[in-house]
Amino acid sequence: GQLDGAWKELESGKSCRRKQVAKKERGVQPDPGRMIEGLRDTWYDFNTAIADIVDNSIAADAKKIDLALAIDFRGNISISIADDGYGMSRDELELAMKYGAQARPNPASLGKYGLGLKTASTAFCRSFTVCSRQDPNEPLYSATWDLDHVIKKEKWLLLLTDEIAEEIQENF
């Protein structure tokens, strides 16, 4: 029918080339809650998700990577991945936590689109925190993605902290 012909024209691009129509631009922001929930469903299995997160330690030239798994009396599971790689400044930490962050310069890195750390983490949890610093004499910075907070506030809000509990800082 007529629609089939129109569809074929659009597929080939003919109708777009024939008519020069002034186009308007309009920024369309995705719904933060729906988007962050949708990005959780990335088909990660647990081992691949951990490997994707550990790749960040490898990319930071870590010589030692420590994985710890804990479960509390309520059955809540916590996973910690710590390394001795070069750390990040506050600005670098914020950039690393940005969905769609810039590509890494090392082509051997698994990081391609700036999503791995975030999607690998949220595939198995609703909140995750990254702590980092470049020098042991500097304060320890942390950034947290809390999916429930994003949904509640309806904004892409990264939670930042400069004052990390002393017991956590002792482990770094």
Structure confidence at residue 137 (pLDDT): 87
pLDDT band of 168, cuts 50, 70, 90: low
DSSP 74-123: T--EEEEEEE-S----HHHHHHHTSTTPPPPS-TTSS-SSS-HHHHHHHT
**Lowest-confidence range among 10-24, 87-101, 137-151?**
10-24
3-state secondary structure of 139: coil
Q: How many residues does the chain have?
A: 172
- Residue pair 78/70 in contact (Cβ under 8 Å)? The answer is yes
pLDDT digits (tens, 9 = 90+) for 70-97: 999 999 999 999 999 999 999 999 999 9
| Burial class of residue 26 (count of CB atoms within 10 Å of its CB; 0-12, 13-18, 19+) | exposed
Report DSSP state, residue 148: H
- Report pTM: 0.79
List the structure tokens of 94: 């914020």
Q: Write phi, then psi, for 6 (nearest 5 degrees).
A: -65, -40
Among residues 65, 101, 56, 105, the alpha carbon closest in space to that of 83 is found at 65
CA-to-CA distance for 99 and 102, rounded, in angstroms? Answer: 9
Phi, psi (degrees; rounded to nearest 5) at 59: -65, -25
Neighbour-count burial for 93-109, b at 16+ CB within 10 Å, e otherwise: beebbebebeeeeeeee
Interval 115-130: pLDDT, tens = 999 999 999 999 999 9
